[in-house]
Amino acid sequence: MELVGGLVSALVTGGVTLLVVVAAVLVGGIVIVSRRRSRPAQVSGDVRRRAGSALVRADDRIGEGESDVEFAIAQFGEKAAAEYRDAVRQARTDRDEIFRLHRLIDDEPGAGLANRERAARIVMLADRIERTLGEQAASFRERRSLESTAPDRLERVRTRVADARARLTVTTRQRDALLEQHSRSALGPAVDAPERAMRSLDRAESLAAEAAPGSTALASSVMQTIAEAERMLFAADEALDAVDAVAERLDDAADALQQLRDDARVVRTEALEAAATAPDGDSGAAITEAVAELDRAVEAAKAAAADPLEQLDDLRTAMDAVEVALASSRTQAQRLAHAREAYLAARVQTEAQLAVAREALGSSGSAGARARLAEAEDELRASAALIDTDPVDALDAARRALTHARDAEVLARY
């Protein structure tokens, strides 16, 4: 009996041990499978971070290159900087491909292997941009350090200061004239551009005097002083360019606003006729209400010393409401005609919003903000290509561009 009892005890103990081992194996297998299953999401997150980081790095490097190549042209002339300009142009093409691949990663989050390959190509393109533009920048840094170029560069600084001061007088009058017509907010950063330009020119002139022949400073210090004077001149030119740019935008907005006002008169007449013959009371009331909103927007658009871009937005919104109310009674020809007329206003608004978004991005901004900005620019280019063949699609593309540009500003600021 003791022998039988011992055998039974051994069998029970062995069985329990076997069950424990099996359970451990099963649990281990479940954990391994679970980890394997959760890995794609983790890899996708890593891929997105790598791609986003490379996108920001490439975009920043191109921004620096674009500024530096203009600086190089101002210093040494167009011909000397031609190769640098070509390198920046190629870098922009590479950046377009980076944005395209980044959009694919966002649109297809579950494409594990494909997204890893896309991220790897994004990193490769970003590395190429950094390497190519870095080589060009280093070449011009070396050229700026050559003592033999000092006399010519100093003379060029003096000439450019004199030219910029003459331009400053004209630009200040231009800014003042704009302020008589528009609100200060309509001018944005250009509102104090002449004052900023004057400070930069004063500093450049002072630095040029410090670097003049007869100075007791070391040669290396003289070269640094001249380089700083050139940077101040470049900053002055950028400030003066800002006034020209905002003047052009406001002129475009005023033209678009007038065109939209003219279109509003035609649409108003058509809408009132449609309201009189509406098939039911609700339809007629909706059209009448939309026309009343349009009248208020047209009246507000006549206000003096305002922002034509804001007026344009309000009037376009009111026009869209009338279009929705009239949708059922419009013919295809009428829809095409309206889209063609509304396109200019949408394009002007989008270009202005793109400028605001770029300013908000500055030298920072997330990959998401930069990607939205690139999408806005792509949509606007697409709209321009469509306007002659399909005005409705062109208008839709311009409005999508405006939405993307506004999203880019929000992402950049917050």
What is the distance in angstroms between the CA of the first residue and the CA of the last residue of the chain?
83
Contact 293, 238 (CB under 8 A): no
Q: Which residues contact 400 (CB under 8 A, 6 or more apart)?
A: 379
Distance of CA 48 to the CA centre of its chain: 20
20-35: per-residue pLDDT in tens?
444 444 444 444 444 4
179-203: per-residue pLDDT in tens?
988 888 888 889 999 999 999 999 9
Could you please report the per-residue DSSP string of 279-330? SSHHHHHHHHHHHHHHHHHHHHTT-SSB-HHHHHHHHHHHHHHHHHHHGGG-
Residue 218, amino acid: L
Residue of 59, 88, 60 lying closest to 73 (CA atoms)? 88
Q: How confident is the model at residue 305 (pLDDT cuts 50, 70, 90)?
A: low
- Token code pair at residue 271: 């809408």
* pTM flag (> 0.75): no
Phi (first) and psi of residue 92, to 5 degrees: -65, -40
Angle (nearest 5°) at CA 123 between 120 and 125: 110
Least confident stretch, 38-42, 228-232, 332-336, 383-387 = 38-42
Question: Which pLDDT does position 229 carry in this prediction?
Answer: 92
Phi (first) and psi of residue 306, to 5 degrees: -115, -170
Question: Which pLDDT does position 131 carry in this prediction?
Answer: 93
